[in-house]
A and B are shown apart, each in its own frame.
Chain A
Amino acid sequence: MSTFQGYRRANGSVGVRNHVLVLPSVMCANNVVDRIGRAVPEVVIVNHPTGCSQVGADFEQTKRTMAGFAANPNVAAVLVVGLGCETNESKALATEIAARGQRVAVIGIQDCGGSTETIARGIAIARELVREAEQHQREMCDLSELIVGTECGGSDGFSGITANPALGYAADRLVAEGGTVILAELPELVGAEHLLAARASEPVAAKLYELIERVEARARAMHVDMRYGNPTQGNIAGGLTTIEEKSLGAAYKGGSTALREVVEYAERPSERGLVVMDTPGQDIEQLTGMIAGGAQVVVFTTGRGTPTGSPIAPVIKVATNTTMFERMRENMDVNAGAILDGSQSLEQVGDEIFSWILDAANGRTPAAETLGFGDFAINRIGPSF
């Protein structure tokens, strides 16, 4: 059984990082959050254009994403900064984060009497949370505590031959040891859903088909061919012709084990093993959704190359081809192009990815994290009013 050194949180979950996060409840607090982050470089911050004038399922999804992200066990404590009149009321958000067992503080710009005072109080609270977090120690944890998000971005004709099957091999090893693997990007399962459904119970398969139909219904409502946006121009330049072809290659990321559960965007899986999450194919919204659903580590395969990282989770980059791996060496961690060069087998690259996941859980920083890249975006499913 594999183990790693993680941070056991009060609610029992296990983190692989020990961040203090400063989170705006609404976009109006972004600048204040930036200033707090500049003054206290030990914290991580996010900015986003959401949190006001939202209703219904769209608002619920935004709240669920923020609370889930803030409660990810890679985060030791959270400071929520609100404005005071926003739809996404900051104290209610803090209450939701606390209900998930997370240490949380909250301040509002209107309550504080302006930005200068909010920044000053925010800096003091952030410093205190950092001091508290420094007390946390890593301890031995079982691999079954890990949720690993899988993602492909900037796919090409090699994705489905090298990096994605190698990641699938690593995913099978994780699941065999009791871990959880998230396969997402629903639009990029259109045309491959029958292969996953065949490995699922009847209700799980039904939910998967329902979500796939939701994607195609959106294309019908807009009277568009999905191919004008996905596969993207870069995917097409890389040799991918249709969404079905892209999907068949993308589905390999999840490996070959039974599909246990299908969850909504940013929803935490209740089952271990292979889980599908309903996210768009858009890289940053997908990344954020999986981490808000509890993923502590993400493995991201890419053919065209991308620098994407998360502010709170290590994102391991796997190149599908050696040419791009060498051209964008600073942004890549593993070269699955070695499979085509004949220098490594698919299983060897899969083992290398598996080792990288354990190393990252123990604290090794992949390229995107070393470079300090922290992407964050919440998937919107309704308009702003």
Chain B
Amino acid sequence: MPLSNDGAALRLKDDDDVAVVLRPLEQGDAVRFGETAVIAAAAIPSGHKIALRAIPSGALIHKYGQVIGRASTPIASGEHVHVHNVEGTRGRGDLAEAAS
């Protein structure tokens, strides 16, 4: 589980789209994994996620090397990744209505 260079974020699997923020980030804070840096686009609370790359709307989002949801809007690198820009792909009984 690689920690970012200053220990502020944790990427659980190498190819994950997001990292977990371990201490609160301010807008403009840099998170570096080796040579790669992302800049926090907004303040991100501890325990929340930061995008490590740009994610197009509709793309699956990976954490733990597994799917945790789908982007509901385009997400830029460094953005706070949460309920405002991610929807679940499971337990979506609300979508059954449209299909029936």
Q: Name the A residues within 8 Å of B91 (CB-CB).
A: 187, 190, 215-216, 219, 225-227, 230, 243
Choose among B1, B82, B93 the residue that contacts A223 (Cβ–Cβ < 8 A).
Answer: B93
The answer to whether A239 and B90 have CB atoms under 8 Å apart is no
Q: Does any Cβ of A come within 8 Å of B58's Cβ?
A: no
Q: Does any Cβ of A come within 8 Å of B22's Cβ?
A: yes
The answer to whether A223 and B97 have CB atoms under 8 Å apart is yes
Residue of B nearest to A158 (CB): B47
A218–B94 Cα distance when bound, in Å, is 11
Q: Does any Cβ of B come within 8 Å of A157's Cβ?
A: yes
Contact with B along A184-206 (1 / 0, CB 8 A): 00010011100100000000000
The answer to whether A244 and B10 have CB atoms under 8 Å apart is no
Residue of B nearest to A230 (CB): B91
Q: Does any Cβ of A come within 8 Å of B55's Cβ?
A: no
Choose among A221, A230, A248 the residue that contacts B68 (Cβ–Cβ < 8 A).
Answer: A248
The answer to whether B93 and A224 have CB atoms under 8 Å apart is yes
Contact with A along B16-57 (1 / 0, CB 8 A): 000011100000000000000000000001111100000000
Q: Name the A residues within 8 Å of B92 (CB-CB).
A: 219, 225-226
Q: Name the B residues within 8 Å of A125 (CB-CB).
A: none
CB distance from A222 to the nearest CB of B (A): 6
Q: Name the A residues within 8 Å of B95 (CB-CB).
A: 225
CB distance from B70 to the nearest CB of A (A): 9
- Contact A239 to B67, CB < 8 A, known contacts A219-B92, A219-B93, A222-B93: no
Q: Name the B residues within 8 Å of A215 (CB-CB).
A: 91
A245–B83 Cα distance when bound, in Å, is 12
A248–B86 Cα distance when bound, in Å, is 16
The answer to whether B47 and A226 have CB atoms under 8 Å apart is no
Q: Does any Cβ of A come within 8 Å of B78's Cβ?
A: no
Q: Name the B residues within 8 Å of A340 (CB-CB).
A: 22
Interface centre among A223, A238, A245 (most CB of B within 10 A): A245
Q: Does any Cβ of A come within 8 Å of B12's Cβ?
A: yes
Contact with B along A256-291 (1 / 0, CB 8 A): 000000000000000000000000000000000000
Choose among B20, B21, B66, B96 the residue that contacts A220 (Cβ–Cβ < 8 A).
Answer: B96
The answer to whether A241 and B49 have CB atoms under 8 Å apart is yes
The answer to whether B68 and A191 have CB atoms under 8 Å apart is yes
- Contact A226 to B90, CB < 8 A, known contacts A220-B96, A248-B63, A248-B66: yes
Residue of B nearest to A229 (CB): B91
Q: Does any Cβ of B come within 8 Å of A160's Cβ?
A: yes
Q: Name the B residues within 8 Å of A248 (CB-CB).
A: 63-64, 66, 68
The answer to whether B82 and A241 have CB atoms under 8 Å apart is yes
A215–B63 Cα distance when bound, in Å, is 23
Q: Does any Cβ of A come within 8 Å of B2's Cβ?
A: no
A245–B89 Cα distance when bound, in Å, is 11
Choose among B20, B48, B81, B88 the residue that contacts A226 (Cβ–Cβ < 8 A).
Answer: B88
Residue of B nearest to A191 (CB): B90
A127–B69 Cα distance when bound, in Å, is 56
The answer to whether B93 and A226 have CB atoms under 8 Å apart is yes
Q: Name the B residues within 8 Å of A335 (CB-CB).
A: none
The answer to whether A236 and B66 have CB atoms under 8 Å apart is no
Q: Name the A residues within 8 Å of B20 (CB-CB).
A: 157-158, 161, 239
The answer to whether A216 and B83 have CB atoms under 8 Å apart is no
The answer to whether A157 and B47 have CB atoms under 8 Å apart is yes
11 additional A-B residue pairs with CB within 8 Å, beyond A226-B91, A227-B87: A160-B64, A161-B10, A219-B91, A219-B93, A226-B92, A236-B82, A239-B49, A241-B86, A244-B66, A244-B68, A244-B90
Q: Name the B residues within 8 Å of A156 (CB-CB).
A: 47
Q: Name the A residues within 8 Å of B88 (CB-CB).
A: 225-227, 241-244
Q: Does any Cβ of B come within 8 Å of A6's Cβ?
A: no
Q: Does any Cβ of B come within 8 Å of A303's Cβ?
A: yes
A340–B46 Cα distance when bound, in Å, is 12
The answer to whether A242 and B69 have CB atoms under 8 Å apart is yes
Q: Does any Cβ of B come within 8 Å of A321's Cβ?
A: yes
Contact with B along A209-221 (1 / 0, CB 8 A): 0000001101111
